[in-house]
Amino acid sequence: MRGYIDRGYNVVKMKIGGESLAIDARRIESVLAEIGADAQLAVDANGRFDTLTAIEYAKVLRDYPLFWYEEAGDPLDYHLQSVLAEFYPGAMATGENLFSHQDARNLIRYGGMRPDRDWLQFDCALSYGLVEYMRTLEVLENAGWSASRCIPHGGHQMSLNIAAGLGLGGNESYPDLFQPYGGFPDGVKVEAGRIRMPDLPGIGFEGKTDLIRVMRDLAE
């Protein structure tokens, strides 16, 4: 976590649910103590909780200054998500495993998500690309949501460029994972949680030397 802060990030994320709630609470407290006021912490359960467990975690997590509580339960369990909102007043995040504008509409209708604080994580590369993502944004707008509440999952170049081009709320980044697809174009650095997009066409594969090399090999 300290390494990410040293590279310019001001929001970091950790996984929860692999240990008991008591151990996870100690883990969270350790990270919060380490990052102090330098960054905010998000937690991600990767959809592993049933409703009761999700609520048990919510009752503990709501006492911490978290950036969000992510994907507590099965991505299609809209009832779980809506019940969770009754116990967790902080920001929730979900949607990375939903793949169409119809899925997005069902989440907004039935999942208890709140447009003033919650985050939507639809991954454009997994949900049929730019055109379908624009349909999803239209659904959200009609339901009273701003595109700025979307932070795409995945940390890849396609999400990065769509986030910048469509005015989304941000984009996840995995600088040490999923290479060569993760990270940013050559020479781009994170400063205070933000980057300056390079002047590149399209998705921007050409600006990442290790990625364009893979793309060219695949095309030959």
Q: Which domain holds residue 11?
A: 2-219
Quick one: which H or E segment has residue 158?
helix 157-166
pLDDT at 176: 83
The DSSP line for the chain is -HHHHHTT-SEEEEE-SSS-HHHHHHHHHHHHHHHGGG-EEEEE-TT---HHHHHHHHHHHTTS-EEEEE--S-TT-HHHHHHHHHH--S-EEE-TT--SHHHHHHHHHHS---TTT-EE---TTTTTHHHHHHHHHHHHHHTT--GGGB--SS-BHHHHHHHHHHT-S-----TTSSTTTBS-STT---BTTB-PPPS-STT-GGG-HHHHHHHHHHH-
- In this structure, how many other beta carbons lie within 10 angstroms of the beta carbon of residue 189? 10
Q: What is the pLDDT along the chain (220 residues), one digit of tens a residue?
A: 999 999 999 999 999 999 999 999 999 999 999 999 999 999 999 999 999 999 999 999 999 999 999 999 999 999 999 999 999 999 999 999 999 999 999 999 999 999 999 999 999 999 999 999 999 999 999 999 999 999 999 888 889 999 999 999 999 998 888 889 888 899 999 999 999 998 888 787 888 999 999 999 999 8
Please report where in the chains the tokens 């604080």 appear, as a residue. 117
pLDDT at 206: 84
* Catalytic residue ranges: 15, 153
Measured CA to CA in angstroms, residue 31 lies from 12, 60, 70, 193 at distances of: 10, 15, 17, 18
Report the SS3 class of residue 182: strand
User: What total of structural domains would you count in the chain?
Assistant: 1
Give the type of residue at 192. Answer: A
Residue 98's contacts (CB-CB under 8 Å, 6 or more residues apart) are 75, 76, 104, 107, 122, 127
The domain spanning residue 112 has which CATH number?
3.20.20.120
* Pair 167, 147: CB distance under 8 Å: yes
What is the phi/psi pair of residue 105, to 5°?
A: -65, -40
pLDDT at 200: 85
> What pTM does this model have?
0.95
